[in-house]
A and B are shown apart, each in its own frame.
Chain A
Amino acid sequence: MNALNITKGTSSKSAYNLRSGHADLNERHTLAVLVANEPGVLARVIGLFSGRGYNIESLTVAEVDHEGHTSRITIVTSGTPQIIEQIKAQLGRIIPVYDVHDLTVEGPSVERELSLFKVSGKGEKRVEALRLADVFRANVVDSTLDSFTFEVVGSPEKIDAFADLMRPLGLSEMARTGVAALSRG
């Protein structure tokens, strides 16, 4: 049994001890899935998640190589380490999936999300909203006499923080794109 340094007669290498301990801890992973841009491919990916009971926190998709008919799907998901491994293996099994990258474990990566906020208000609240938007480097993409529409780009956490600040200042509507991510370097 020395080939693997496995101690015989213990259950330390068997299935169940490995699951206990940290197995209940959910991890958040960002997956980049490169797919053939053909009809139904997004439905296959989403159907896999719903059919097998996996989580989707966010999902973005767009064609990234027009000539190669390749699209990139960025999925933020969460689950135990075993579930994450299973999600990657199941994604890899879909025929039009070319490649699956787990950006969370494959070295450093950058994650960005774009969001739009409509904030309605007058007087001091309106001024305060504009001041905070400046701090967050938000762009004003539309304005009326009683509302602003801000565009914020950043990590999901930054967008969450901006939403928290805007809520008491008259946040009336928001839209988020979900995360797009690339590995660094």
Chain B
Amino acid sequence: MSGAKMVVQALIDQGVDTVFGYPGGAVLPIYDEIFLQNSIKHFLVRHEQGAVHAAEAYARSTGKPGVVLVTSGPGATNAVTGLTDALMDSIPLVVLTGQVPTFMIGSDAFQEADTVGITRPCTKHNWLVKDTDALAHTLHSAFHVACSGRPGPVLVDIPKDVQFANGTYEGPAKMKSHYQPQLKGDLDAITALVAVMETAEKPVFYTGGGVINSGPIASQLLRELVEATNFPITSTLMGLGSYPGNGANWLGMLGMHGLYEANMAMHDCDLMINIGARFDDRITGRLDAFSPRSIKAHIDIDASSINKVIHVDIPILGDVAHVLEDMLKVWKARGRKTNSKALKTWWAEIDGWRKIRCLDYAADSKVIKPQYALERLEALTKDHDRYITTEVGQHQMWAAQYMTFNDPNRWMTSGGLGTMGYGVPASIGAQVAHPSSLVINVAGEASWLMNMQEMGTAVQYCLPVKQFILNNERLGMVRQWQELLHGERYSQSWSESLPDFVKLAEAFGAKGILCSDPADLDEAIMEMLAYDGPVIFDCLVEKHENCFPMIPSGKAHNEMLLGNAAMKGAIDASGSVLV
């Protein structure tokens, strides 16, 4: 079998039916094999970065690995941002790149780049295959590594002569790997955690993307545990949906733009149970003031996440679903105890924080407030079978704050890397995976422009993605920081010479909708939802709205700025060096 045919056969044997990619000289043999079969559907993007983000959203919304096929040189380098994004957010991807023939490697051949060298720090693992006989085993290993343990992107670089040459194919069953991450948590540590849970007066669950990566059972077990213990629960941006946003114990998202009650609970708790989150700097704020009185437990499948930033008292290495299952078993076996009297007081305290109503904003009858736009979008779409993607910036935080996620795998956003330009291709990947569902990309106009070429992909494949652009003609988050930190000197943070988005939509063959009056908003959103095809919705919003609550850089969780707070001097000199 030729190497090129092996690639297609390995994908089929791994259960792959969807590939995002872009052809070029060094992958032509594989594209030829794709032409000759019908099992795998290939989606032609407009830029390789788009292929990787689309595959990320496909993976996140299905739980299956995303697969990308691109050419050598620029094809590979264009994929680097997406690979880094997937590494930061632990998204399983298998990226296949073409390479110049083995005998030309190192000669600065046309479209040659040291792809494994360039992508070594931004993949979980990568391989250069120099022998067709090793190709099948490498491809199956790639899927195993991408999906096992903490998921992540992997890359297989395949020189053109290896694609042409014949070799022996072997199926996935023969694949052997020493890489077998531990799934079960240590039972003594789990018992220690349960014992602390039984007496804790102010406990809080702090959950992250690891719950979603662990699979739907993990979310189910988490819900069971929260209901059984009546502990409050908050989540990172990446973990939204693992516990329902309309659930009784839900505090809302935590972190830099998290809810007041969530951050205060984190600061004041006496027991913090981190489930599949990683104490990111957007979460912790000032490290030496982070939750000073709590015992901290951390459940994570990646040993290097534990004690990396925050020292924890009860580390539990293992898969979230496996550990939660054991936690529930141990807790039940020990008599289902909690400190219910203290919990009642704790909930009363939390209810006091909730009364602050930290998401309140000044309504306006003439200008659309971005928060209002998202409240209406939420109200009009919450009963749909809905997937939300975002770009990066203020709109992303507002979407996380004002929209409700009741199920896992419904929320696709670039968390760790903060990649502007993620949302448009991500909406395409999610729509490909769920053709009959409603997919909305909540965007800012500046981010949206970064990968807008993918509208061509949406139109080509009749993917009815809705691009909901909160257009403030600003790089809103940059503008907000310049207002807070840089004396209101708005250096390069406005969007000059914006396109007419309605005409742009029409030029792509999509539908364009413009809305600038709050009174027209509901009707315009309904028009967007009713249209059976891709839509660019240009929602002109208040230009100078800031995103609150906010923990300024260098401050602690209990030093949040609320919407009506005085802004000047909120961040001191030591905080301004942080990002």
Contact = CB atoms under 8 A, between A and B. Distances in A.
Interface stretch (A38-46, A57-65, A170-178): A38-46
B295 A40 contact: no
Q: When A and B form their complex, which 10 residue pairs have the shortest distance between CB atoms, in order from nearest?
A: A3-B195, A89-B304, A95-B125, A15-B311, A89-B303, A15-B310, A16-B288, A3-B192, A90-B304, A18-B311
A40 B130 CA distance: 13
Tell which of A4, A93, A95 has the most Cβ of chain B within 10 Å: A95
A14 B270 CA distance: 10
A137 interface: no
Contacts, number: 84
13 contacts: A4-B195, A8-B201, A15-B287, A15-B290, A15-B291, A18-B311, A39-B128, A40-B128, A43-B117, A85-B307, A93-B302, A95-B124, A95-B125
A2 interface: yes
Contacts of B290: 15-16
A37 to B, nearest CB: 13
Contact of A82 (B120, B128, B292, B307): B307
B117 A86 contact: no
A11 to B, nearest CB: 5
Nearest to A18: B311
Interface string B172-204: 000000110000000000011001100111000
B294 interface: yes
A11 B288 CA distance: 11
B296 interface: yes
What range describes how many residues of B lie at the interface? Answer: 35 or more
Contact of B311 (A1, A10, A82): A82
A1 B201 CA distance: 10
B179 A95 contact: yes
B308 interface: yes
A89 B270 CA distance: 28
A14 B192 contact: no
B89 to A, nearest CB: 16
Interface of B: 116-117, 120-121, 124-125, 128, 145, 178-179, 191-192, 195-196, 199-201, 270, 287-288, 290-296, 302-304, 306-308, 310-314
A92 B202 CA distance: 35
B192 A4 contact: yes
A14 B291 contact: yes
A13 interface: yes
Nearest to A51: B121
B296 A15 contact: yes
A168 to B, nearest CB: 45
Contacts of B311: 14-15, 18-19, 82
Contacts of B294: 14
B304 A93 contact: yes
Contacts of B178: 98
A108 interface: no
A1 B197 CA distance: 8
A123 B372 CA distance: 92
